[in-house]
């Protein structure tokens, strides 16, 4: 049995016997004081229009935008070099669609093996629902260093779910040479998709897979061969083998492998329970029946798609399912039973049922005060010749709502999280979208959103971002 399979088997057995410990929100004062004096902050570039992902390759920082633009930042000159515009990208300016996934072949810097993989939204000519006019596709391009362009476009898979909300679409390549893609629940059960059934627990039939009907891939993490086909050793769900690797996800925006081949994930919860997870083959992560731990604490599943009353009276009261319009079915977390449920490593944050979701401290943007951080990515820090002291087995998770990066310390052997194992770094009045580290490990790069709301130092919500659409460098002060 190889190392990857041994670790997978270990996590399946160990996670079922762990006891959950509820986390409490970090007070605002701790966020305000979070910027570490050990790092020097420098804004390298700003005014990126639709930033989404960054990646270090060829000693340069590659930047993607939801509009389809891919560029490179020369870290020696801080000059931005336009590289390519992915064609046919469909995106809404204030939505969560567009060019999202960005992954580089592990051999990108060697042997002229210059494949770049992307996931993106394009029009779906076969769409029958006006709320879902698009589809998600995965493409592969070849980077031509001489012409500084991407060539040889190849579509690996198409027809994947797409909406304007909860797309996720973090794309990574594992040590097993497989593509892993996170797909959110498409925003079902909230806002303009309030009455749309949630498919995070739905499994496609064999006939649907043969017909390439992938709509039930919503709320899943997929595992694909590099040509887009289904790996033979993928797990079975209800007797069906598909691209699905795990089920029961809400908005899993972060995926990152450790050097030992363990896949870590960050996931946005509803009003509570943003999650940090180990992704286990065949695992079920509970959504929408469970948010965070299965503890009946701070959340219940209100299924608005089954409301039979007057539709004009239907609305989400914003109480995390604990209080709803009469007639909306509500399911407690403990009422859901399944054998392969995987509880999170950590939640940000779990609160009791009497938590006040209408805190006036945030003014009109009350959701900013909810006990969530809007985890936007996940990055396992691998160090280097100038590694930051004490930063071994560290997962970095940027926050859209708080303007911090969470530094989560993991155990070397089990990758579990101890009770007081996270710190907040790099506090700023910005929405942190993605994070990466320099090859030598001395520098952390943070990509910020160009617009949106964040918690100000005063505690209130604000749309006044200090560094919109920027790449901010945090260089360890002791490094040369």
What positions carry a catalytic annotation?
Answer: 166
Residue 276: beta bridge partners?
Answer: 266, 346
Residue 424: beta bridge partners?
Answer: 406
Q: Which of 374, 380, 82 is nearest to 256 (CA)?
A: 380
HEC string of the chain? CCHHHHHHHHHHHHHCCCCCCCCCCCCHHHHHCCCCCCEEEEEEECCCCCEEEEEEECCEEEEEECCCEEEEEECCCCEEEEEEECCCCCCCCCCCCCEEEEEECCCCCCCCCCEEEEEEEEECCCCCCCCCCEEEEEEEEEEECCCCEEEEEEEEEEEECCCCCCCEEEEEECCCCCEEEEECCCCCCCHHHCCCCCCCCCCCCHHHHHCCCCHHHCCEEEEECCCCCCCCCCCEECCEECCEEEECCCEEEEEEECCCCCEEEEEECCCCCEEEEECCCCCECCCCCCCCCCCCCCCCEECHHHCCCCHHHCCCCCCCCCCCCCCCCEECHHHCCCCCECCCCEEECCCCCCCCCCCHHHCCCHHHHCCCCCECCCEEECCCCCCCCCCCCEEEEEECCCCCEEEEEECCCCCCEEEEEEEEECCCCCCEEEEEECCCCCEEEEEECCCCCEECCCCCEECCCCCCCCEEEEEECCCC
Backbone angles phi, psi at 6, to 5 degrees: -60, -45
- In whole angstroms, give the CA distance from residue 196 to residue 188: 5
Residue 79: beta bridge partners?
Answer: 74
Answer for the pair 448, 472: CB distance below 8 angstroms, yes or no.
yes
- Torsion region of 469: left, alpha or beta (phi above 0 gives left; psi -120 to 50 gives alpha): left
Query: What does DSSP say about strands 301-302 and 379-381: parallel, antiparallel, or unpaired?
Result: unpaired
Residue 49: beta bridge partners?
Answer: none
- In whole angstroms, give the CA distance from residue 434 to residue 443: 14
């Amino acid at each position: 049995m190889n190392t990857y399979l041994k670790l997978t088997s270990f996590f399946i057995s160990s996670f079922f016997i762990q006891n959950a410990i509820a986390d409490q929100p970090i007070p605002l004062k701790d966020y305000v004081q979070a910027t570490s004096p050990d790092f020097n902050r420098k804004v390298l570039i700003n005014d990126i229009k639709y930033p989404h992902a960054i990646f270090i390759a060829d000693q340069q920082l590659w930047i993607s935008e939801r509009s389809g633009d891919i560029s490179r930042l020369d870290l020696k000159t801080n000059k931005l070099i336009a590289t390519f515009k992915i064609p046919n990208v469909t995106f809404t300016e204030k939505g969560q669609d567009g060019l999202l996934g960005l992954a580089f072949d592990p051999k990108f810097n060697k042997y002229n093996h210059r494949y770049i993989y992307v996931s993106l939204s394009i029009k779906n000519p076969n769409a029958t629902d006006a709320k879902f006019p698009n589809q998600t596709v995965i493409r592969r391009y070849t980077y031509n260093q001489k012409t500084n362009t991407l060539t040889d476009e190849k579509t690996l898979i198409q027809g994947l779910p797409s909406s304007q909300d909860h797309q996720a679409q973090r794309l990574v390549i594992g040590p097993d040479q497989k593509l892993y893609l996170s797909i959110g629940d498409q925003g079902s059960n909230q806002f303009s998709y309030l009455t749309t059934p949630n498919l995070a627990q739905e499994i496609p039939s064999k006939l649907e897979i043969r017909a390439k009907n992938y709509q039930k891939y919503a709320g899943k993490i997929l595992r694909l061969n590099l040509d887009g086909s289904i790996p033979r050793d993928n797990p079975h769900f209800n007797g069906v083998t598909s691209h699905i690797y795990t089920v029961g996800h809400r908005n899993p925006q972060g995926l990152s492998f450790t050097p030992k081949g363990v896949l870590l994930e960050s996931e946005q919860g509803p009003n509570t329970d943003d999650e940090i997870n180990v992704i286990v083959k065949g695992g079920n992560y509970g959504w929408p029946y469970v948010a965070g731990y299965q503890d009946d604490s701070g959340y219940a599943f209100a299924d608005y798609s089954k409301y039979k009353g007057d539709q004009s009276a239907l609305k989400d009261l914003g109480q995390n399912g604990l209080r709803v319009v009469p007639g909306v079915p509500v399911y407690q977390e403990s009422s859901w039973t399944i054998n392969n449920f995987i509880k999170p490593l950590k939640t940000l944050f779990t609160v009791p049922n009497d938590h006040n979701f209408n805190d006036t401290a945030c003014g009109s943007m009350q959701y900013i005060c909810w006990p969530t951080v809007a985890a936007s990515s996940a990055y396992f820090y691998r160090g280097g010749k100038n590694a930051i002291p004490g930063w071994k087995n560290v997962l970095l998770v940027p926050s859209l709502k708080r303007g911090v990066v969470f530094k989560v310390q993991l155990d070397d052997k089990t990758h579990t999280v101890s009770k007081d194992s996270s710190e907040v770094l790099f506090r700023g009045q910005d929405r942190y979208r993605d994070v990466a580290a320099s090859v030598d490990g001395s520098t952390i790069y943070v990509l910020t959103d160009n617009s949106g709301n964040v918690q100000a130092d005063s505690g209130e919500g604000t749309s006044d971002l200090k560094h919109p659409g920027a790449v901010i460098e945090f260089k360890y002060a002791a490094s040369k």
